[in-house]
Every structure is written in C-alpha cells, then in structure tokens.
C-alpha cells in the first residue's frame, strides 16, 4: 500500500507541475495587453479613443490591425511608446541583428540573399516613390487621428 500511495503522490505532483508549466508557457506566449485607458504620448487620448478614432477615420487600416491579437498588441505597444523609446528599441534590434550575423555567418549570408530576392520582387510591384507616398499618407492619417481622437 505504501508503495502505491507514494507512487500516486509522485504522479499527482508531476501532473500538477506539468500543468503549471504548460499554463505558464501559454500565458507567456499570449501577447501583452495594453490597458485601454493607457495614455498615448503626444495626445490627450487613451488607447481606446485612438482605436475608436482609427476605426471611424480609416476602417481598412483598423481592420488590418484588429484582425488578430498579436497585431493589435503590437499597435497598442507602439502608440504608447514615446519617439525616444521607439528609437531606442530600433537601435537595440539593430545591435541584436548585427550580433546574430557575427555568430551565424552562414545563415546570415543565406538570409541576406533571400532578402535581396524579396526586395527585387517587391520593386517590380511598386516604385520607391509609390512606397514613400503610401508611408507619408499613413503617417499623415495617424497624425490626423491623434489630433481628433478626443472626439471619440
């Protein structure tokens, strides 16, 4: 009896431990949620107000952002960062990429070749002037939304 009781306790503990590890892994994999009441720098608006303004002013852009939790979380994180924070994050990612390239030269070369192929294919679809125009339009639209978000 002692042996089977000990075995049962060990199996139960192992099951509980595995369940907690799985739950922690699943929680860690989920995108971080930004509070809807979080302030958006450069405005007097909350994240929820900016989202409502975007949905009203540019439904197509909002639909592409709102289509899944990951893209929405990325959008919310970006709009709640200051320009300095975004710049620091870009510099950090650039340094990480450079370090990765040093540590993995073979893979870096292959990745760069694929990237060049992709860039060449993209250039046949749109011109640099068209891409710059679309980028300027998106930036202007977001500035407009930031100035009018307090209405929503």
> For residues 7 and 66, what is the distance between their CA atoms, to the nearest angstrom?
49
d(CA 140, CA 46): 19
Question: Which residue(s) pair with 39 in the sheet?
Answer: 46
How far CA 143 is from CA of 94, 131, 134, 139, 149, in Å, comes to: 27, 18, 14, 6, 10
Rounded distance between C-alpha atoms, residue 21 and residue 139, angstroms: 42
Which of 17 and 101 is assigned the larger pLDDT? 101
- The answer to whether the pTM exceeds 0.85 is no
What pLDDT sits at residue 26? 43
Region for residue 119 given its phi and psi (left: phi exceeds 0; alpha: psi -120 to 50; beta: otherwise): alpha
């Amino acid at each position: 009896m002692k042996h089977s009781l000990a075995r049962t306790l060990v199996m139960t503990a192992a099951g509980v431990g595995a369940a907690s590890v799985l739950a922690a892994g699943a929680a860690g994999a989920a995108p971080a949620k930004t509070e809807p009441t979080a302030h958006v720098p450069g405005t007097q608006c909350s994240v929820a107000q900016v989202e409502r303004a975007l949905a009203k002013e540019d439904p197509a852009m909002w639909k592409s952002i709102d289509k899944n939790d990951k893209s929405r979380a990325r959008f919310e994180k970006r709009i709640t960062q200051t320009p300095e924070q975004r710049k620091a994050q870009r510099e950090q990612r650039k340094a990480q990429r450079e370090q990765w390239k040093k540590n993995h030269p073979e893979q870096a070369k292959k990745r760069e070749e694929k990237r060049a192929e992709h860039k060449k294919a993209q250039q046949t679809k749109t011109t640099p002037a068209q891409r710059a125009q679309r980028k300027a339009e998106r930036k202007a639209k977001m500035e407009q939304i930031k100035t009018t978000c307090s209405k929503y």
